[in-house]
Structure 1
């Protein structure tokens, strides 16, 4: 009887081991490749946003040049007046001009910093909108093609053309997201409260 129980236990164990092993095995990977660089260059919303961002960047550069010229024009006579003092202290009128010039310099730097920050925020918002829409599209196309993993073309050494789903992803993205908002990222409620103080 002990042999029977021992034999039954071994048989049950033998049946359980392959079942446990099968449960832990993963199926074969079916890979799809997406060229996200191409999508960011060619999608309709991406191109329109890139043009607007470039225009805003050009406007900011032009403003920086204008401010620099204004400061140089105002600063040169002040520098000459200070140099003419030969180390003596400037009088009250010259000191007032120096202080006003320094204030203008600071204001110009702050204006340009705000402009650059605004431009970075717009870029981040554009990327966020595209990324939010792109991820589900990639998943949908990947699943329709029977793939269980998608990789970026930039992260691969080589891939067969048949694995590339970029055209389908690009077509769906253009259909679902014809344009994006080219505005700064919406501020979070905490940031708004902090700035209101």
Structure 2
């Protein structure tokens, strides 16, 4: 059975998930004087494990409240200053709600390591965006590379066998021809794949010029 508390801070109900899968239900009673029996009924249903639609609606209402609150929140200068960087960032392929990039200043990830964030909740509406908020934390967004160029930089950096150094760029330089030559020289990537990356890069440069 989940634990249930009442609060009168605002009009929102809250569901706190725990590792043991038993939720903590915090139910608003701000205007309890207007509908005492109604609040008692909601608490009773919550306490018995979300076994009907009315209790499920309380949980859904909480989720919608959280999403609206997140969407309204623009990071402060202090929050941005404290946030880690995501360099060479890119949204994941369709169906995956996270962002890829090279991490810097992350408390749990070595600088220059490539990886992906937790699910993205909000992206700055500026162009180019300056920050992204995920389920786990806020990130500042660094340089963005067009997709074909980024793919070449990614594979070059990966096969270099080291993370990106602070102040360096993924791939080691801005010389894409040198990167392509390096990828061919390693023998670790099929020649046809390098040819495809080169062709995509040249078409991308033509579109963007």
TM-score, length basis structure 1: 0.22
Which structure has the highest helix share of the two?
1
Q: Which structure carries more relative contact order (alpha carbon 8 Å, separation 6+)?
A: 1
Which structure has the highest strand share of the two?
2
Max Rg structure: 1
TM-score, length basis structure 2: 0.21
